[in-house]
Amino acid sequence: MKIAAIGECMVEFAPNGHKAWQMGFAGDTFNTLWTLRGLLSDDVLTDYVSAFGDDEFSRQQLAFFSSHDIGTADSPHFQGGRPGLYAITLIGAERSFTYWRNESVARRLADNPDSLARSLNGCDLIYFSGISLAILSEKARQTLLTTIHIARQDGSCVAFDPNYRQRLWSEPAIAAQVITEAEKLADIVLPTFDDEHQLFGDVNPQATVHRLQALKARECIVKNGSKPALLSAAGKIYEIPANSSAIAVDTSGAGDAFNGAYLAARLKDIEPVAAVEFAHRIASLAIGVHGALTPMKLLKDALG
């Protein structure tokens, strides 16, 4: 089995709970791939498709990937390139982010269409997000969407999280158009209700489900924080409660961990309702640790 996630992995500085910072590497689609890596068997191939630089942070990033059996397929490497950076600020368990990403080399991930096509060739699952699209130029967005469309025609399952971040888009109308185009490409759509309400004006999660059903999404799971998730699968809609007993330390990456757990469960042929229940359980682990990545040991132990 071969899985590719597409997007931007940044340098992360996160509070460690002891009035100090810890450095790591994270980003929405990478966080999901990390969760998939931790929950799937070692013989599954996982690649992070992006663009990479050659500075010290880039070298450390690539070494981090390699140490956890995460490849980069045929992703381009650019001389003088460097990753973006962000810092997490916590107020209680809720987080806010400060970004330094305007010169991130990941913005060039679709500069070479042939390289991108080779990276996605033969994938069983391709995962990307609205952020993957937002950081690209208009031309590069179309390159990415076209390449994913071709891969889907060749048999890849496509999963997409709209993950709308207003500051990354020139205007909401463009974001809505591009994200809708991506949703039409996806077999599995994994939105967060707050984002859908902000961008599309959905009045409740049911409205989000109905809109995505009209776009022919095979499966749709609307995340809603600590409230129940809404699942649409096989023509039915299910409301599935979150883990209300989870103690939140840092909510960074919880939605990404949910996505990774759901996709891992579906790849193991677990039925959608049980897959959402499992995803809630993994998300509850994610909010119990600092930073966006749930430790691999916790993920492995969750399988027991």
Average pLDDT over residues 192-215: 97
* Residues labelled as active-site residues: 256
User: pLDDT at residue 166 above 90?
Assistant: yes
User: pLDDT at residue 92 above 70?
Assistant: no
Among candidates 21, 80, 1, 26, which has minimal Cα distance to 256?
26
The tens digit of pLDDT for each residue in 35-55 reads 999 999 999 999 999 999 999
pLDDT-derived band at 247 (thresholds 50, 70, 90) equals: confident
Among candidates 242, 232, 225, which has minimal Cα distance to 279?
242
Q: For residues 46 and 2, give the distance between their C-alpha atoms in angstroms, rounded to a whole number.
A: 6
The tens digit of pLDDT for each residue in 208-243 reads 999 999 999 999 999 998 899 999 999 999 999 998
* Average pLDDT value over all residues in the chain: 94
pLDDT at 199: 98
Average pLDDT over residues 77-93: 87
Which domains does the chain carry? 2-303 (3.40.1190.20)
Percentage of residues in the chain with pLDDT exceeding 90? 84
Q: For residues 241 and 26, give the distance between their C-alpha atoms in angstroms, rounded to a whole number.
A: 27
For the ranges 14-18, 83-87, 138-142, which has the lowest average pLDDT? 14-18
User: pLDDT at residue 70 above 90?
Assistant: yes
DSSP 14: E
User: What's the predicted TM-score (pTM) here?
Assistant: 0.95
Strand partners, 238: 231
pLDDT-derived band at 286 (thresholds 50, 70, 90) equals: very high
Question: H-helix or E-strand containing 149?
Answer: helix 138-153
Q: For residues 199 and 212, give the distance between their C-alpha atoms in angstroms, rounded to a whole number.
A: 14
Average pLDDT over residues 281-298: 91
First-to-last alpha carbon distance for the chain, in angstroms, is 22
Average pLDDT over residues 240-258: 86
SS3 248: coil
Q: For residues 121 and 218, give the distance between their C-alpha atoms in angstroms, rounded to a whole number.
A: 22
DSSP 107: G
Average pLDDT over residues 157-162: 98
